[in-house]
A and B are shown apart, each in its own frame.
Chain A
């Protein structure tokens, strides 16, 4: 089969509309909100703070801990029972690894920085949206970071390499989903996963598409952080 026109009419290298905000959860030390198409993620950062349980403390530097969760009514089918699942635990771990290369917690031995990610609405690309929101939240929280992390899913449907798969494309029988996260300046990859079958050349192309998307996402993340401080005084 040939995938000639995308289900929602986008170009193959076109992202869905993106929006972002910083400082949306006032009780958190830092927070971010990131929406791409119909996938929406909130992220809140608490810390550096005392870490429990104590045996998980690291005496050399602070620990980054991510918690990813989808709200029970967020996905397109039945209700999802609240609570951690194997999938959400896995996504929590890879999110943590995607963010760790930029975060510098050397001044915070034995402490923890907790990042909570919640999605009220999902349409594929959830771990990527979560990472983008988390990046904004960590920066907003004043955590020492060498760079921002941008994340998007690239992939292939039938014979076309494309960017930012929505749910229909992701669940297509000939769909291959490749979530990627990159450090903005160096474009080094901190998250790379893949479901499906793909030739190496196709993978290279997909990563190239992701690199370009990274710059676009960075601009939105940057603007979200800067506009928080541009509000007029009351």
Chain B
């Protein structure tokens, strides 16, 4: 509706290290949509079923600051889905090597929490949030740890163990047309959407379908193909 081609993204910028107190942070702008992600780390007892692994958690805050449509209060379905889509893209691809985050099996391991907060919702929060989460993780470093206490004021130079760079692209279907990166006027009236996370080797590492209309298998494959084509461009920005 704004003169772009249907598979064209608005200008995307990523700025890292925007929050000095966080272990890692990034601010992503897609057009006028703006989100900020921060990584905080803690040392905790590992889960009993994975005693030699660290853990991660993704949380999305849809601030009322960023849109007249968001209200204060506990996370609603939209923010929970956004968090889980982003989480899935990172977790299922084993982007973070959680085995390397173990300090002492059964006793201590690092927990990484990624919070993504919205600053301005001009549409396509799905991709902005995923990109910001990845950029923040990539920017993150371990805080100083002496075995007993974490010194958050001192940052080490050691980055988190990242082995892959998944890029999440959401493809929207309107009737027979496929669209990428809708603005907020466009992104309410879609029939279906498919969020596809792709890796550098071209493989897909996570999928999530939304929207009220069912899609055919061919539709899904077309949407996946479109997402894969575009993912390289976004990955370059990381």
Q: Do chains A and B touch in the complex (CB under 8 A)?
A: yes
Residues in A lying within 8 Å of B, measured CB to CB: 24-28, 38, 42-44, 46, 49, 67, 69, 71-79, 82-84, 114, 116-118, 120-123
Residues in B lying within 8 Å of A, measured CB to CB: 18-23, 25, 32, 34, 36, 38-40, 42, 59, 61, 63-68, 72, 74, 113, 115, 117, 119-122, 152-153, 184
- Partner pick for A76 among B21, B32, B36, B74, CB 8 A cutoff: B21
Q: Are A79 and B113 CB-contacts (below 8 A) given A27-B67, A42-B65, A73-B38? A: yes
| Interchain CB contact under 8 A, A28 and B65 | yes
Write the nearest CB–CB distance from A141 to chain B, whole angstroms. 12
Question: In whole angstroms, how far apart are the Cα atoms of A123 and B152 in the complex?
Answer: 14
Contacts of A38 in B (CB 8 A): 20-21
CB nearest to A120 among chain B residues:
B19
| Interchain CB contact under 8 A, B152 and A77 | yes
CB nearest to B59 among chain A residues:
A82
- Partner pick for B115 among A24, A28, A79, A114, CB 8 A cutoff: A79
Name 22 A/B residue pairs within 8 A (Cβ), A-sorted: A25-B120, A26-B120, A27-B121, A42-B65, A43-B65, A44-B66, A67-B72, A69-B63, A71-B38, A71-B115, A73-B40, A73-B115, A78-B42, A79-B42, A79-B113, A84-B72, A116-B63, A116-B64, A118-B63, A118-B117, A121-B21, A122-B21
A interface, by DSSP: helix, strand, loop or mixed?
A: loop
Contacts of B117 in A (CB 8 A): 71-72, 118, 120
CB nearest to B184 among chain A residues:
A27
| Interchain CB contact under 8 A, A26 and B20 | no
- Partner pick for B119 among A25, A49, A75, A84, CB 8 A cutoff: A25
Contacts of A25 in B (CB 8 A): 34, 65-66, 119-120
With contacts A74-B21, A77-B152, A118-B119 known, what are 12 further pairs, Cβ within 8 A?
A25-B120, A38-B21, A42-B65, A42-B119, A46-B64, A71-B61, A72-B40, A73-B19, A76-B152, A120-B25, A120-B117, A121-B20
CB nearest to A28 among chain B residues:
B65
